[in-house]
Structure formats: C-alpha cells, structure tokens
Chain A
Amino acid sequence: MKPTPKAIFLSLAILALAGCAAESSSRAAKPSCCVKAEAPAAFTDKSIYQTESTWMTDQRTQIKLGALAGRPQVVAMFFAHCQFACPIIVNDMKRIEAALPADVSGRIGFTLVSFDAKRDTPPALAEYRKTRDLPAKSWNLMCGRPDDVLELSALLGLSFKENADGQFAHSNVITILNAQGEIVHQQVGLNQDIHETVRLLQQLARN
C-alpha cells in the first residue's frame, strides 16, 4: 500500500509526540564543543565511550558519546523540569568551570544528559541552555531513548526512578571523565567542595 500524504503526516505527528526518542537527524556530526577533538578508533577497556548508544543534542545533532573524547568531560545527568537538585548540580558545574585557570578552561567539556526522554526534546534543551546561560563552546546538552538513558545511568553507576507525577528521583553525582572516557572521579552530593574536582581537571588537562 502506498502511504497517503495524510498517513505520512499522521506518522510524523506521532513521531513528534514521542519526545527525544523520535528526534532523528541524518547529520551525524560532532557537537560544536568538540569539533577539534578527533575520536580515537578504539576506546580503552574502561571507557564509557564503548557504548553504541546515540544521542540528540539541543542543536539537533545526532552523536555517539565517543564524540566527546579528546578532552576531559564533567558529566551529570539531570532533567529540565527538576525544581530542586538539578539546578544545584548545574550550578556546581558552573562553579567548577569558573574556578578553572584560563589555560585549562577551554580544554574541558561540560555535558548534561537528560533522564527525561519525554519532555527534554532538543528544543526544550535549547531553551534550558538559554535560561541557564550555558556557553555552546564548552557545554553539551543531550537527550536519548529511554533504553539508552538507562544504560548510561548504569555506566555512570547512577540510580533514577520516574515518579507518577513525571518527576525523577535520581542520584546527585558529577562525574569526571578523562579524555578517553574513563571515570576518574565522582563528586557525590550537592553543594560540595569543588577543590578536589578542579585540581583533578587541571591535572588531566595539562597531561
């Protein structure tokens, strides 16, 4: 059966309703932050970049996590509707960025990945970037399919649970990945002392 224009329109409408999962793009490119970073062909045994999962950035670019390779990353999982913990996590990450010396700050990436595959679509993430003032050259915002969100949270050792009211209960953890995508440090909790994290990032960036 030849699909009628109406059927095509309907299926597109259904796709649009399905949140991040359905956002697709043939442009498989690196996020603007990582254009210079050349991802190595093979990652180390302990690299989370081994995963095959694909993600959508707020700029509607489809990427694999390996696109983040090449420089250390400060990673957290969050959701844009979060009223309590996530704004603090993002704020903690901004504190970390602000504390980096000038020669290091351009060499560290900051990545936020959403738990909320339904509501955190690329436009919603773009809006979040704007309201939170997250510079495109250092910050990546991305969303993915529920299955991939589950896998990434497992790779990072995080727990989360969607409550009936659409909120997510979740671990509050900021993870430091080295340039190869290996977990080298996890800062647990909110409003923590960032001294150790900042020291480690300098060390990673200067190596």
Chain B
Amino acid sequence: MKTWMRNSIMALMMLMGAVGQSFGQTPPAGMALIPDGVYRPLFRGESDPKEVIVKSFYLDILPVTNGGFLEFVRAIPRWRRSQVKRIFADESYLKSWAGDLDPGTNAPANVPVTEISWFAAKAYAQWKGERLPSVAEWEYAAAASPTRADGKDDTNFTRQVLAWYSTPAPAQLPAAGLGQANFWGVRDLHGLVWEWVADFNTALVTGDAGSDNGLDRRLFCGTGSQGATDVQNYPAFMRYGFRSSLKANYSVHNLGFRCAKDL
C-alpha cells in the first residue's frame, strides 16, 4: 500500500474513532480509546498478512500499580503471596512486598506492580471485568508518539524509546504516570516497565537464520519460514525476544501489565 493511501486510511479511521467517541463511547475511568488501526507484525509466516487489523478497544492509561493490585489481593485471597500456587507464580511473586496485604516501602502505591506472573495479571484483569491486551493491540498502541499515531518517523520519540531499552531498570521503579501521554493519551508504554500481553507465548522464532539463539529447533513445527519486516525497529525486536523468553509463572522485577477492554 502506498504511504499516502495508508495515511489517509489511518486519518479516516482516526476520524471515525473520534466520531464514535463523541457518540457516547466514553472510555471507562482510567482508560483511553484506541481507535481501529493496523499492526505490522515484526515476524510473520509467508502466508501471513503484512498488516493485522486491530479493532478499536480501550486500554489502561497507566500500568496497574501496587495500590491497584493490593485491592485485588484483598478481594481474592488466593492471589496473596502466601497463598498463590507455584504453578501460577514462581518464588519471586510479589517478593518486594512487605507482607500479603502490605506493599511496604519497596513497593509504593503509585508505582507499577511488578513481580507478578501472567496468570496473576490475567486473573486481575478478569476480576476487573477486563482482559490483557494482545501483542497486536499493545504494539499498535505503543507505536504512537506524543504527536503521531504512528511514531516511527518521529525521531525524537524513537531515540527516547531506544534510550530506555538500553538502560537497566532502576532498583526502585519510578511512579506511574510521569511519562508523557502518547497520541492516544496512554502513558508509560515505554520507559517504565515491560508489560505482559495475553498471547505472550505466540512468539515462535523459526526463521532459518542463526537467530534461533537458545531455542531448540526440534521444539517447533515448521509451518513456513518467518521473516522480519522492519529490521530498523530494534525495540520491537527486544520486546519480541523478551516475550519469547518468558514462562507464564515468571514473576520478574521489571515486568508489569495493564488491562484492555472491548468496546
């Protein structure tokens, strides 16, 4: 598709999104409306489309915080640190918290909750009547810079994102919401914590290059070789690699989540 065509389609979709919003589709509190759009997968099979249509959805403006997660474990005892089953969360689950119902000084209420497994994130979302975003939804929302729906050509934005990915996570994470809002009004998709997505385990590296590091190729059914579409997008490669290294019960220091919701 020609760039001008794509841009005009995007503009039209955004306009439709904005119109939809004005017709009573007010996002729930704390969420932003992400209008219809497209996600271009980084890796795809020969028969896969270049672009995946992402239907409009709501996305949390901020990652879920320790304060928010405390409400959840208060309500649902089986997700408290002392009660969680190992199959659903490893030994690091909420390990910085002072106690079952006390995040303590190491996990301030306004800081993103981390050290939570995919199962815990999913259970939180269900408890809220929400769900985790898909890879496509997350990447599409995160492609927006502060001023553009597609921040790929916004050099200031790409530089900032890259800078964060090359900086180790600080021992004490900053509060959520300090980052600049992106084009959709969503904050901290980059620059604060990595985030779980619903289909984190759909990343299969089956290309025939030597990039199958650490992945046993006997593991995978080869239904078509995969090729990378945008080799410039280094942070997307990092996220792709990071996701494919995760197991669903991992509870990691710099890995949090946010929720999504259908319209």
Please indicate whether A and B come from the same complex rather than being unrelated chains.
yes
Q: Which residues of A contact B (CB under 8 A)?
A: 45-48, 50, 82, 84-86, 150-151, 153-155, 157-165, 167-173, 188-190
B12 to chain A, nearest CB (A): 24
Q: Determine the distance from Cα of A86 to Cα of B220 in the docked complex, in whole angstroms.
A: 11
Given contacts A158-B201, A163-B45, contact A188 B221 (CB under 8 A): no
Q: Does the CB pair A168–B223 fall under 8 Å?
A: yes
Residues of A within 8 A of B248 (CB): 151, 154-155, 157
* A45 contacts B85, C-beta separation under 8 Å: yes
Q: Nearest B residue to A160 by beta-carbon distance? A: B202
CB distance from A127 to the nearest CB of B (A): 21
| Docked complex Cα distance between A190 and B87 (Å) | 26
Contact across chains for A150 and B223 when beta carbons are under 8 A apart: no
List chain A residues, Cβ under 8 A from B87. 45-48, 50, 155
Q: Are B223 and A50 in contact (CB-based, < 8 A)?
A: no
By secondary structure, the B interface counts as loop
Pair B201/A172 contact, Cβ less than 8 Å: no
CA–CA, A186 and B223, complex, Å: 22
CB pairs A–B below 8 angstroms (7 shown): A84-B223, A158-B201, A168-B221, A170-B220, A170-B221, A172-B221, A173-B219
CA distance A188 to B217 in the complex (A): 10
Question: Is A169's CB under 8 angstroms from B223's CB?
Answer: yes
10 nearest CB pairs, A to B? A189-B218, A154-B248, A85-B221, A161-B202, A164-B48, A165-B47, A45-B86, A167-B223, A163-B45, A159-B201
Residue of A nearest to B88 (CB): A50
Please tell me if B140 contacts chain A, counting CB pairs below 8 Å. Answer: no
For B118, list chain A residues within 8 Å (CB): 154
- In terms of DSSP, what is the predominant structure of the interface of chain A? mixed
Contacting A at CB under 8 A, from B206-232, are 206, 216, 218-224
The chain A residue with its CB closest to the CB of B86 is: A45
A163 vs B225: C-alpha distance in the bound complex, in angstroms?
11
| B244 on interface, CB distance cutoff 8 Å | yes
Chain A residue nearest in CB terms to B131:
A147
Q: Does B97 contact A (CB under 8 A)?
A: no
A153 neighbours in B (Cβ, 8 Å): 201
What 17 additional pairs, Cβ within 8 angstroms, besides A84-B222, A164-B48, A188-B219? A45-B86, A45-B87, A47-B87, A150-B201, A153-B201, A160-B202, A161-B203, A163-B45, A163-B47, A165-B45, A165-B47, A168-B223, A169-B45, A169-B224, A170-B221, A172-B221, A188-B216
From known contacts A160-B201, A164-B48, infer whether A154 and B85 are also in contact, taking CB-CB under 8 Å: no
Known: A150-B199, A163-B45, A163-B47. A82 touches B216 (CB 8 A): no
Q: What residues of chain A lie closer than 8 Å to B220, measured between beta carbons?
A: 159, 169-172
Residue of B nearest to A153 (CB): B201
The answer to the question of B198 belonging to the interface, with a C-beta cut-off of 8 Å to chain A, is yes
B84-137 interface (Cβ within 8 A of A): 85-88, 118-119, 122
B133 to chain A, nearest CB (A): 13
Q: Max chain A CB contacts within 10 Å: which of B49, B202, B244?
A: B202
- Whether the Cβ atoms of B219 and A161 lie closer than 8 Å is no
Q: Hey, which chain A residues are within 8 Å of B198, CB to CB? A: 150
Tell me if B152 counts as interface (CB < 8 A to partner A): no
Interface centre among B85, B222, B224 (most CB of A within 10 A): B85
Chain A's nearest CB lies how many Å from the CB of B88?
A: 7
Chain B residues near A163 (CB-CB < 8 A):
45, 47-48, 223-224
- CB of B119 within 8 A of CB of A154, answer yes
* Distance of A129 Cα from B248 Cα, bound (Å): 31
CB distance from A173 to the nearest CB of B (A): 7
Given contacts A47-B87, A169-B206, contact A164 B222 (CB under 8 A): no
Which of A50, A169, A189 neighbours the largest number of chain B CB atoms within 10 Å of its CB? Answer: A169
Residues of B within 8 Å of A162, CB to CB, are 202
**Distance (whole angstroms) from the CB of B119 to the closest CB of chain A:** 7
Query: Once bound together, how far apart are the Cα atoms of A157 and B224, in whole Å?
Result: 22
In chain A, what residue has the closest Cβ to B203? A159
B122 to A, closest residue via Cβ? A151
What chain B residues lie within 8 Å of A157 (beta carbons)?
Answer: 247-248
Q: Which residue of B lies closest to A88 (CB)?
A: B221
Instruction: Tell me if B173 counts as interface (CB < 8 A to partner A).
Output: no
